[in-house]
Chains A and B, each alone.
Chain A
């Protein structure tokens, strides 16, 4: 055959790349219960859809060429449920997928291309950190992100302007690059057993004699419950792929498009008539706001984000009449719905996601205010409240605000109440508004009075909290029968889709910090 020798050489080089770090390393990976980068890609992407770039790349350090197939990172494009995405997968079998110059060039190319071509990015992260000795010394650090010098290479690794949705699955140890990438990403899934931290425990044990484990510093509980960096926790790798695919179903490919509309699951909206059973008659009795969202949204369409972080507030994607929407809802079951600083951080993060990807926001109010006190002040509650409002002011996707029950004080504003530019704002007849919850206000105003007198005056104050005066003066657009809530939202969504912008926002929050 013509060029037989040359073609054989090519085949052999490609085979070498497909062998990744070799059978021993692959076996080790499997023994840890983990897949290799290429196995992961096979399971994530539609069959045979990987269009790989940089398969023949390797380390630029003399003598390391043979030991670094693909330079420890598999990159390219592929399809997920028929839609094109960019893919980057750390190959832990090659030098623990530590990052160095050629690796960085490959990652940079895909990151830039997904933005230019308007495609989502999926990164499957697993890395031991920076590669040594490659990055050691003056030349090493100057070339940390690639070629160094007076170019702007480093920013390709540390910035994201939310033009396209970036997702990352943390599959194993995630030190260094996977951590930075998680902090830039719009959506982070952590597989149980994986860890995500700037530095690994081993390095710390040596440098500061620390005794914590990787799990203590960056296990899934740390990021799902304490830092809020992780949006979803996966039971295993298959679960992680499923979660990433589901998330992408809610996303447009880029910020110039609308999220795909789905068909409406049968039976959606059928429980609206029993929505009154969810809300207790007693105003001080808590209830589970998820039940309200479940009744209003299309069946099985709720996709919770940061479920275990800032639990006084729910942020979830969902569909109504097949359209993707984002719910920001107080959760009375946790602290009576009084928002804490974590809830405010979670809200900011969600506003950025929805504003960037043309998802209308639906605010469901039932909050007595913010959780205040010394602990809250130490956590900068004032700054968080102001920041969240500043973010809300810049949201340019449609905002639908529904007052379910309590909507008090500054918290009412943060929930997109009257005066903060909701495109649509209505209340249930159970809605209440005021500077403070009347019970708390009565303590301030009538605290010195005898109990009975104080009780009577509190009841007067409560009457004064009714939403009808707000409807009369058109501070709100209407008071609706709770059973009509889904229908009301459907009307607003139809109006939005038929409007000039069709609901595509101006993305003023695109450059808001990617983590909080």
Chain B
């Protein structure tokens, strides 16, 4: 099963903390979004393996845009 992790708010991708193939646990930080002068980590909602990363550093992103796909 694949699970998409989406951006909770618009902003800019400030950090990407995982690589494809990495194993992650619930609450692990995946991507950091910069918005409203804050750096907001987007965390994994499930245990799994990173299948795809759909953004790159400095990308402008919108709410609900998929950032990472887990498997």
- Spell out A's residues near B (CB within 8 Å): 282, 284-288, 291, 332-336, 338, 368, 437, 439-440
Contacts and interface: CB of A to CB of B under 8 A. Distances in A.
Contacts of A287: 41
Given A285-B41, A439-B37, 9 more contacts: A284-B38, A284-B39, A285-B39, A286-B38, A286-B40, A286-B41, A288-B43, A336-B40, A437-B37
Interface string B12-46: 00000000000000010000100111111101000
A333 B40 contact: yes
Interface size class of B (residues with CB under 8 A): 10 to 19
Contact of A335 (B9, B39, B41, B43): B9
Contacts of A368: 36, 38
B9 A284 contact: no
19 contacts: A282-B39, A284-B37, A285-B32, A285-B38, A286-B38, A286-B39, A287-B41, A288-B43, A333-B8, A333-B40, A335-B35, A336-B35, A336-B36, A336-B40, A338-B36, A368-B36, A437-B37, A439-B37, A440-B37
Contacts of A335: 9, 35-36
Nearest to A338: B36
A415 B39 CA distance: 23
Contacts of B40: 286, 332-333, 336
Contacts of B43: 288
Nearest to A291: B27
Nearest to A283: B38
Contacts of B32: 285
Name the prevailing secondary structure of the A interface residues. Answer: loop
Interface of B: 8-9, 27, 32, 35-41, 43
A287 B35 CA distance: 14
A22 to B, nearest CB: 44
B37 A288 contact: no
B70 to A, nearest CB: 18
Contact of A288 (B9, B27, B39): B27
The 9 residue pairs across chains A and B that have the minimum distance between CB atoms: A336-B38, A286-B40, A285-B39, A439-B37, A336-B36, A284-B38, A284-B39, A286-B38, A284-B37
A286 B38 CA distance: 7
A334 B41 CA distance: 10
Given A285-B41, A288-B43, A334 B36 contact: no
Nearest to B32: A285
B27 A332 contact: no
Contacts of B36: 335-336, 338, 368
A439 B38 CA distance: 11
A367 to B, nearest CB: 11
Contacts of A439: 37
B27 to A, nearest CB: 7
Contacts of A282: 39
B71 to A, nearest CB: 24
A282 B39 CA distance: 9
Contacts of B39: 282, 284-286
A275 B32 CA distance: 21
Nearest to A371: B36
A336 B41 CA distance: 10
Contacts of B37: 284, 336, 437, 439-440
Contacts of A285: 32, 38-39, 41
Nearest to B42: A333
Q: Which of B35, B37, B39, B40 has the most CB of A within 10 A?
A: B40
Contacts of A291: 27
B38 A332 contact: yes
A183 B32 CA distance: 39
A277 to B, nearest CB: 12
A438 to B, nearest CB: 10
Nearest to A440: B37
Nearest to B41: A286
Contacts of A284: 37-39
A336 B34 CA distance: 10
Nearest to B37: A439
Contacts of A440: 37
Contacts of A437: 37
A285 B8 CA distance: 15
B32 to A, nearest CB: 8
